[in-house]
């Protein structure tokens, strides 16, 4: 009962922090409450939001996925490649010189290219999961290696050059505004709804919580942990690939260098949202608020024209502070 | 699979022999590809290039022995280099950039920077033990912060030209031997004596092996973990100073991703992720193996980006090998 009250309070507290931050932002910059900025804010936040949904799954089982930023870049350049089938006939060094020609020669018809990229993203996540689960290595270190490998693959594959030209349907994913709501936000919302459904209303989701809370207890009650340890990393890789595709639409090109460092934003959002890094605690609701808080801080710092480097420092402090608050709280609970 | 794990795991003599076989194969491959490889001069040069990674790997050994992991070492390395550059170009804030203007005599600067690095390590240790943040999460946060700090104080610029003493640290030769290599080997000897023959060392192993048992036998595990992180911060900033001297520049972009190289070097050397097994001498072997792999990739004429890609696989492989036969031990809470 007491624990329930405390968790209610912490959810409520997060919401209060969000409201306070909105008020402060409005005071600091008169530009904040303009329709253009709000639309910009929400569509910027949705990229991190989509990644954070995957990261929530991973953190719920006590893992962490550092490779999502690299998978975003890889998915983006992979999508660009699928759009430029005629490039395959040239030698690599000729392929990647930008000649101003953006004639699209898709290899696969429309829905299948997206599905293919999503599958590759899922496959990379699956590799993370299998190695981590099979060899009992914590997923942060497996995904750290994967981060380096995937980024190296993406960048060396095109010598760091972007591939220009994406179809209109993909640009619509990034820039479309049905009913005045930016399309990325709609994608984010749909993904959140599916994730909430999986986590709250299916046996599978509840077992993810069980495995994250106590692997040994879950095993003893007849749950095969490895399945539930691999699945979240697949989700994370798949959603990272989705972000990569939408990002290609946003930039009008496949860029292998996009997404560098995005994994830390996603981790920060999930942790601010109240998820515990030791697993078993957290949810999509908290993550959404975490994403909005992170996005708000980014947005305001940009509006105030603060340099990128102090912004990076602030991010580091925010992550540590969120974890520290959590650590102090959990210490107090365990002492009771 | 379990039998394989038993063969390669850390207890068997076979695992040590396996590492030397790998080293031998690498040396043979390298000497076939580059005829001058075996020459004394090249060996000494290699020794120097290994030393920088070697320093942070020594610190990482202490941390991994205590059952933790430190992702912030490369950031501390870069920060220390930038700090040295700034302290030696104090006039940068007055508008004249290229002339040397020391804040204090160089040895004092070294002491200041080394203590700042140690303080970063101390803060890591305190965050992990007192605030109960997971090791990798706390050091991930401080990695982002410190790297941002290095960029912020230098404004993202490289600070060229350091004074003679700093250059000697990175480039100087004592006879035919690079000074930094001598420094590295002195550090290795001191650290392995500390780990093997002192009460501190024995208690550090005990802490890493099983913090609960350590506490029950009257050791304060938190204290040893904090000290391990402080040592790691110290060696990271020592590496940063030497690196700045070697490159003659304080550069915030330096050594990106080296934390993983250091972790891999420690693990390849045979120090277990579960804590409590291994040592500094083993780590030297790991550093040489990692350094040789990078050296061979360069000899093959592979560009930096594909090199990263290959290293990603090599490191993953090393870590899988290093973790065979252990549980998820790297995150044991103190």
User: What is the tens place of the pLDDT at every residue in A54-106?
Assistant: 999 999 988 889 899 999 999 998 888 887 765 554 444 444 444 445 566 67
From B172's Cα to the closest Cα of chain A, the distance in A is: 33
Each residue's pLDDT tens digit, A225-236: 888 889 999 999
Distance CA A14, CA A270 (A): 12
Whether residue B320 and residue A149 make contact (CB cut-off 8 A), yes or no, is no
Taking all residues of chain A, what is their mean pLDDT, rounded to a whole number?
Answer: 82
Alpha helix stretches (DSSP H) within A29-67: 35-60
> Roughly what angle, to the nearest 10 degrees, separates helices B221-247 and B179-197?
170
From A83's Cα to the closest Cα of chain B, the distance in A is: 23
B residues 156-175 closer than 8 Å to A (CB): 156
Whether residue A141 and residue B311 make contact (CB cut-off 8 A), yes or no, is no
Distance CA A271, CA B18 (A): 42
Closest partner residue to A138 among B151, B313, B331, by Cβ? B331
CA atoms within 13 A on the CB side of A118: 9
CATH numbers and ranges of domains, chain B: 39-323 (1.10.3470)
Contacts of residue B151 in chain A, CB cutoff 8 Å? 308-309, 312
Would you give the distance in Å from CA B316 to the centre of its chain?
18
> Roughly what angle, to the nearest 10 degrees, separates helices A35-60 and A203-213?
70
Q: Work out the average pLDDT over A190-200.
A: 93
- Residue B147 forms contact with A (CB below 8 Å): yes
Neighbours of A242 (CB within 10 A): 26
Distance CA A109, CA A82 (A): 10
From B238's Cα to the closest Cα of chain A, the distance in A is: 23
Chain B residue with the nearest C-alpha to that of A70? B309
The pLDDT score that the predictor gives to residue A4 is: 59
User: Residue-wise pLDDT tens for chain B (334 aa)?
Assistant: 455 555 555 455 566 777 788 888 888 888 888 777 778 777 888 888 889 999 999 999 999 988 888 999 999 999 999 999 888 887 666 555 566 777 778 889 999 999 999 999 999 999 999 888 888 888 988 998 999 999 988 888 888 888 888 888 888 888 888 899 999 999 999 999 999 899 999 999 888 888 888 888 888 889 999 999 999 999 999 999 999 999 988 888 888 888 888 988 888 887 877 667 788 888 998 899 888 888 888 877 788 888 888 888 888 887 777 666 554 444 333 3
Contacts of residue B315 in chain A, CB cutoff 8 Å? 145, 148
The pLDDT score that the predictor gives to residue B215 is: 87
Could you report how far apart the first and last alpha carbons of chain B are, in Å?
Answer: 31
Closest partner residue to A152 among B134, B151, B312, by Cβ? B312
Whether residue B140 and residue A315 make contact (CB cut-off 8 A), yes or no, is no
Distance CA A287, CA A281 (A): 12
ipTM of this model?
0.78
Chain A residue with the nearest C-alpha to that of B313? A149
In the CATH hierarchy, which fold is given to the domain comprising A35-329? ABC transporter involved in vitamin B12 uptake, BtuC (1.10.3470)
pLDDT reading at A159 higher than 90: no
In a 10 Å sphere around its CB, with 0-12 CB exposed, 13-18 middle and 19+ buried, how is residue A168 labelled? exposed
Distance CA A94, CA A200 (A): 51
Alpha helix stretches (DSSP H) within chain B: 2-8, 13-33, 40-65, 73-88, 106-130, 135-154, 164-171, 179-197, 199-209, 211-216, 221-247, 258-268, 280-299, 304-323
Each residue's pLDDT tens digit, A239-293: 999 999 999 888 888 888 888 888 888 988 888 888 887 788 888 988 998 899 8
Dig out the tokens for B329 from the structure.
């031990």
> Roughly what angle, to the nearest 10 degrees, separates helices A284-303 and A183-201?
150
Closest partner residue to B145 among A153, A277, A316, by Cβ? A316
B residues 187-206 closer than 8 Å to A (CB): none
Chain B residue with the nearest C-alpha to that of A330? B132
Whether residue A148 and residue B309 make contact (CB cut-off 8 A), yes or no, is yes
From A270's Cα to the closest Cα of chain B, the distance in A is: 13
Whether residue B307 and residue A135 make contact (CB cut-off 8 A), yes or no, is no
Whether residue B145 and residue A278 make contact (CB cut-off 8 A), yes or no, is no
Q: Which of A6, A142, A179, A206 has the alpha carbon at shortest distance from B136?
A: A142
Angle at A49 between CA A43 and CA A50, to 5 degrees: 100
How long, in residues, is chain A?
336
pLDDT reading at A42 higher than 80: yes
Whether residue A155 and residue B307 make contact (CB cut-off 8 A), yes or no, is no
Whether residue B141 and residue A316 make contact (CB cut-off 8 A), yes or no, is yes
Dig out the tokens for B307 from the structure.
């090199």
Closest partner residue to A313 among B137, B149, B155, by Cβ? B149
Chain B residue with the nearest C-alpha to that of A322? B133
3-state secondary structure of B249: strand
The pLDDT score that the predictor gives to residue B110 is: 92
The pLDDT score that the predictor gives to residue B186 is: 94
- Residue B313 forms contact with A (CB below 8 Å): yes
- Residue B141 forms contact with A (CB below 8 Å): yes
């Amino acid at each position: 009962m007491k624990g329930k009250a405390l968790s209610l309070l912490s959810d409520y507290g997060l919401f209060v922090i969000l409201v306070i931050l909105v008020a402060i932002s409005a005071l600091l910059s008169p530009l904040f409450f303009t329709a253009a900025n709000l639309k910009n804010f929400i569509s910027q936040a949705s990229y991190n939001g989509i990644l954070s949904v995957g990261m929530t799954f991973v953190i719920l089982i006590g893992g962490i996925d550092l490779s999502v930023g690299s998978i975003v870049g890889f998915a983006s350049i992979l999508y660009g490649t699928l759009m430029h089938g005629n490039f395959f006939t040239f030698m690599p060094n000729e392929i990647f010189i930008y000649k101003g020609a953006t004639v699209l020669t898709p290899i696969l018809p429309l829905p299948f290219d997206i599905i293919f990229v999503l599958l590759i993203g899922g496959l990379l996540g699956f590799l993370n999961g299998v190695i981590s689960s099979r060899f009992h290595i914590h997923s942060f270190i497996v995904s750290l290696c994967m981060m380096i490998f995937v980024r190296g693959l993406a960048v060396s594959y095109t010598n760091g050059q972007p591939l220009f030209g994406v179809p209109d349907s993909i640009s619509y994913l990034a820039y479309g505004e049905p009913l005045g709501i930016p399309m990325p936000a709609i994608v984010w919302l749909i993904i959140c709804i599916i994730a909430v459904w999986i986590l709250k209303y299916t046996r599978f989701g509840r077992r993810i919580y069980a495995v994250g809370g106590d692997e040994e207890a879950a095993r003893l009650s007849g749950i095969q942990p490895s399945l539930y340890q691999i699945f979240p990393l697949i989700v994370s890789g798949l959603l990272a690939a989705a972000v990569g595709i939408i990002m290609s639409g946003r930039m009008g090109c496949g860029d292998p260098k996009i997404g560098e460092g995005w994994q830390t934003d996603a981790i920060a959002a999930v942790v601010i949202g109240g998820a515990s890094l030791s697993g078993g605690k957290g949810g999509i609701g908290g993550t959404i608020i975490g994403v909005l808080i992170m996005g708000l801080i980014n947005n305001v710092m940009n509006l105030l024209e603060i340099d990128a480097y102090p912004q990076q420092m602030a991010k580091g402090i925010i992550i540590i502070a969120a974890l520290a608050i959590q650590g102090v709280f959990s210490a107090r609970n365990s002492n009771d | 699979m379990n039998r394989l794990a038993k063969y390669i795991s850390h207890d068997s003599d076979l695992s040590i022999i396996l590492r030397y076989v790998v080293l031998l194969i690498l040396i043979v491959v390298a000497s076939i590809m580059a005829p001058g490889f075996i020459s004394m001069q090249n060996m000494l040069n290699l020794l120097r290039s290994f030393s920088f990674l070697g320093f942070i790997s020594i610190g990482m050994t202490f941390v991994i022995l205590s059952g933790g992991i430190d992702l912030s070492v490369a950031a501390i390395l870069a920060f220390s280099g930038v700090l040295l550059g700034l302290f030696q170009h104090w006039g940068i804030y007055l508008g004249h950039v290229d002339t040397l203007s020391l804040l204090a005599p160089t040895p004092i600067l070294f002491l200041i920077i080394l203590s700042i690095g140690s303080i970063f390590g101390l803060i890591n240790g305190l965050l992990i033990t007192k605030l109960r943040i997971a090791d990798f999460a706390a050091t991930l946060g401080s990695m982002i912060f410190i790297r941002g700090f290095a960029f912020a104080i230098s404004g993202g610029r490289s600070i060229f030209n350091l004074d003679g003493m700093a250059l000697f640290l990175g480039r100087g030769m004592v006879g035919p031997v690079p000074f930094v290599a001598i420094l590295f080997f002195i550090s290795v000897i001191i650290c392995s004596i500390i780990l093997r023959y002192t009460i501190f060392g024995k208690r550090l192993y005990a802490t890493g092996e099983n913090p609960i048992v350590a506490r029950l036998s009257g050791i304060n595990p938190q204290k040893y973990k904090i000290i391990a992180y402080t040592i790691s911060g110290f060696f990271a900033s020592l590496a940063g100073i030497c690196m700045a001297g070697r490159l003659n520049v304080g550069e915030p972009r330096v050594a990106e991703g080296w934390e993983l190289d250091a972790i891999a070097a420690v693990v390849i050397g045979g120090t277990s992720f579960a804590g409590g097994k291994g040592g500094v001498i083993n780590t030297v072997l790991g550093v040489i193996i990692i350094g040789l792999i990078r050296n061979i990739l360069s000899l093959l004429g592979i560009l930096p980006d594909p090199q990263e890609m290959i290293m990603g696989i090599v490191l993953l492989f090393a870590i899988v090998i290093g973790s065979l036969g252990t549980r998820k031990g790297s995150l044991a809470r103190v």
